[in-house]
Amino acid sequence: MNYTNADVSSATNAKDKHGGGETGEVGAALVVVGLSWERTAKEVRMRNEMIRVAHRAGAPIRQLADVSGLGRKTVTAVVCAKTHPQDP
């Protein structure tokens, strides 16, 4: 497998950002946790935006709740807010 300079730089930046100065297994685990949180936060933002798009296009709250796995109150909050409090 070949890694580009951008790949190495990205990994180094993630280590510096999330590693907390730790080395070894603890540092590696912290990096993975931090990167997972970043990816999850991005997916939540995308999901919430798609909920708003679907609702504007006519999808009912109940259907959006069913397909998203969220409660109707949470979906209503997402639809009614430009950005939802749960949006990271």
pLDDT digits (tens, 9 = 90+) for 31-51: 888 888 888 999 999 999 999
Global pTM exceeds 0.75 = no
| Long-range pairs, 73-81, Cβ under 8 A, ≥24 | 75/51, 78/48, 78/51, 78/52, 79/51, 79/52, 79/55
Domain borders along the chain are: 5-80
More confident call, 20 vs 49:
49
pLDDT exceeds cutoff 90 at 57:
yes
